[in-house]
């Protein structure tokens, strides 16, 4: 691998690994799985660095898709990975209640919520990441918020 490529990859890794792990964690709810998803995403990017133009976009898409795929893992594997432990409740009742509600969302809706309200992405870019029409993003977001509203009202 050319030196310049290595340096650029390392810079991207240093600058974005925390953000990507957080993104994956918000999507999967398991820090261990999130770490694995991000590792795989960076590995895929590393292998294809010279053939990809949009490194940041590729990485984010790989992390989101990897997170969605990881939800299909067996329950036993997820239990095993959970042994590393997760961040505790924040102590803020509203935050902890809302986080519980967010965790009940279907993966695709949760992904739209995280990308919209945490990553602050516009609908068009979310659609590009999730490979769906913008209208699908709007619908998922609309339904996710309706579900959250109901869940919080319980």
Residues 116-135 that bind another protein (CB under 8 A): 117-125, 127-128, 131-135
* x/- track of binding to another protein for residues 4-33 (CB under 8 A): ---xxxxxxxxxxxxx-xxx-xx----xx-
Nearest to another protein of 79, 149 (CB atom): 149
Residues 29-58 that bind another protein (CB under 8 A): 31-32, 34-44, 46-48, 51-58
Indicate whether 114 belongs to the interface with another protein (CB under 8 A). Answer: yes
Indicate whether 82 belongs to the interface with another protein (CB under 8 A). Answer: no
Q: Binder to another protein among 102, 109, 111, 112 (CB under 8 A)?
A: 102
SS (H, E, C) the chain: CCHHHHHHHHHHHHHHHHHHHHHHHHHHCCHHHHHHHHHHHHHHHHHHHHHCCCHHHHHHHHHHHHHHHHCCCCHHHHHHHHHHCCCCCCCCHHHHHHHHHHCCCCHHHHHHHHHHHCCCCCHHHHHHHHCCCHHHHHHHHHHHHHHHHHHHHC
Indicate whether 76 belongs to the interface with another protein (CB under 8 A). Answer: no
């Amino acid at each position: 691998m050319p030196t310049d490529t290595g340096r650029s990859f390392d810079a991207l890794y240093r600058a974005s690994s925390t953000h990507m792990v957080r993104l994956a964690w918000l999507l999967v709810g398991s820090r261990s799985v999130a770490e694995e998803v991000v590792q795989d995403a960076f590995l895929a990017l590393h292998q294809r660095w010279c053939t990809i133009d949009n490194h940041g976009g590729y990485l984010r898409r790989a992390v989101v898709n990897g997170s969605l795929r990881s939800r299909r893992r067996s329950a036993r594997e997820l239990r095993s990975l959970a042994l590393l432990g997760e961040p505790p409740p924040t102590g803020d009742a509203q935050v902890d209640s809302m986080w519980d509600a967010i965790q009940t969302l279907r993966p695709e809706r949760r992904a739209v919520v995280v990308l919209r309200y945490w990553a602050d992405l516009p609908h068009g870019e979310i659609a590009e990441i999730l490979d769906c029409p913008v209208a699908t993003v709007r619908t998922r977001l609309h339904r996710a918020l309706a579900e959250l509203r109901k869940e919080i009202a319980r």
